[in-house]
Amino acid sequence: MKPFKIDVAQTTLSDIRTRVKAYEWHEMPRGDGLDGTWAYGANLDFMRELCAYWVDAFEWRDAEAALNAFPQFTATVEDIDLHFTLEKGSGSSPRPIILSHGWPGSVFEFTHIIDKLAHPEKHGGDVKDAFTVVVPSLPGYGWSGKPKRPIGPRTTARLFDKLMTDVAKLPGYIAQGGDWGSAISAYMSYEGKGCKAAHLNMMGWTSPGVGPETEEEKTFAAQAGALFQAEGAYFLEQTTKPQTLSYGMMDSPVGVAAWIVEKFHGWSDTRMGFDKAYTKDQLLTNVMIYLVTRTFNTATWMYRGRLEEQFSMPIPKGARLEKPTGVAAFPVDLIPWPPRSQVERSINVARWDAFEHGGHFAALERPDDLVSSIRGFARQL
């Protein structure tokens, strides 16, 4: 483990600002009821407002300081340099937990909950609920190293299990995550030698051969399929031809922002307004991590890596997550949770928390709800 500190060169920041300021804006569909719509993709008016704030008011150094507030390290696992935060928990026996993000997220998602998990006594909680918290950047994301070719969530799970057991010396850990983090955490539970349990805020595991059986489950499957058909074009592109997408995105900060922010809008609980879910600073901090590390391209490789893993090392039919699993089900998501009856045929569900508000990026959008679910699950173990 080598100590690490984020320190982005000023020339990098100046170049990004110059590119955003010089962006040549274009058209979007207009007409009755269309001015505020996101139905055609990232809303032009919102993006212009966000980029004006980006140029005139956003301060990367403030975001950088917040990320650097926790101890960070790098370590080589197999042939990948992994970047991670490690915050030791309070008390005599804090439980180890690893929090894994997904796409288009980053380690920034968890800055809002690290201290609450590690030091609950500072936030009106009980020190007995403390965790030692590890938050890694996925391979090809953020400040972790870039793989030479696409790798998927199963390979990443193997790397993260080694990070926890061999590098950080934290066996008996809980693996927690959403998006890719939910699949990674599920694989850590399935075959990680040091994983004790998993906590998921997205359905990251389905046993091969297990599908909907009841009428409720079949109705849900049809609705979920229609949702993915409407929102899943990005998934197909990044799974099949991620390299083609990279040429435009690696050259355009505004393009990266639009591609990512549109997902934050579509996958979050915006019933009270998008501005109530996230601040502009939060959206831009997450986008900037992809830009300052030049990882938009390698981050999308996870999708192709998943496809290749499914062919090269398939999971046996009927394989199930047998270790205890906690579920935090938020109402808005690209891949919502099926009925519990169906989930339990694939996963040993030890706790199920269903929330009235929140979406895909739970750690950022509903941090207290997610923390309460993790704590409650850990107490049961």
Q: What local confidence, expressed as pLDDT, does residue 248 receive?
A: 96
Residue 267 lies in a domain: yes
Phi then psi for residue 122, to 5 deg, are -80, -15
Please name which of 254, 336, 256 lies closest in space to residue 299, comparing C-alpha atoms. 256
Q: Which helix (H) or strand (E) holds 127?
A: none
Domain of 308, in residue numbers: 2-14+58-380
User: What is the mean predicted confidence (pLDDT) over 194-217?
Assistant: 96
pLDDT confidence of residue 288: 98
The mean pLDDT of the chain is: 97
Q: How confident is the model at residue 234 (pLDDT cuts 50, 70, 90)?
A: very high
Q: In whole angstroms, give the CA distance from residue 142 to residue 312.
A: 27
Residues 76, 1: Cα–Cα separation, whole Å: 8
Query: What tokens does 230 get?
Result: 């409407």
Per-residue confidence band for 35, with pLDDT thresholds at 50, 70 and 90: confident
Identify whether 341 is part of a domain: yes
C-alpha span between 296 and 289 (Å, rounded)? 9
**Range 253-259 average pLDDT:** 98
Integer Cα distance of 78 and 81 in angstroms: 8
**According to the model, what pLDDT value does residue 68 have?**
98
Is 360:333 a contact under the CB 8 Å cutoff? Answer: yes
Nearest C-alpha neighbor of 200 from the set 86, 344, 370? 370
Judged against a pLDDT cut of 90, whether residue 21 lies above it is answered with: yes
Q: Residue 319 pLDDT more than 90? A: yes
| Structure confidence at residue 328 (pLDDT) | 98
244 belongs to a structural domain: yes
Residue 64 covered by a domain: yes
Q: With residue 300 as reference, give the H or E element that holds it.
A: helix 296-312
**Encoded tokens for 287:** 């986008």
E strands present in the chain? 2-4, 72-77, 80-87, 95-100, 131-136, 173-177, 195-200, 321-329, 347-354
Residue 205 and residue 85: Cα distance in Å, rounded? 26
Buried b / exposed e across 6-39, counting CB within 10 Å, b at 16+? bebeeeebeebbeebeebeeeeeeeeeeeeeeee
Pair type for strands 80-87 and 72-77 = antiparallel
Please write down the HEC assignment for all residues of 169-183.
CCCCEEEEECCHHHH
Instruction: Give the pLDDT confidence of 57-68 residue by residue, as tens digits.
Output: 999 999 999 999
3-state secondary structure of 251: coil
Q: Are 135 and 285 in contact (CB under 8 A)?
A: no
Q: Which residues contact 129 (CB under 8 A, 6 or more apart)?
A: 120, 375, 378, 379
Q: Is the pLDDT of residue 283 over 90?
A: yes
Please report which confidence band the pLDDT of residue 55 belongs to, taking 50, 70 and 90 as the band edges.
very high
Evaluate whether residue 48 is within a structural domain: no
Q: Identity (one letter) of the amino acid at 201?
A: N
* Domain membership flag for residue 50: no
Domain-located, residue 19: no
* Residue 174's CATH number: 3.40.50.1820
Model confidence pLDDT, tens digit, residues 60-103: 999 999 999 999 999 999 999 999 999 999 999 999 999 999 99
Judge whether 38 lies within some domain: no
Percent of the chain at pLDDT above 70?
100
- For the chain, the maximum distance between any two Cα atoms, rounded to a whole number of angstroms, is 62
Residue 156 confidence class, pLDDT cut points 50, 70, 90? very high
Question: What total number of domains does the chain contain?
Answer: 1
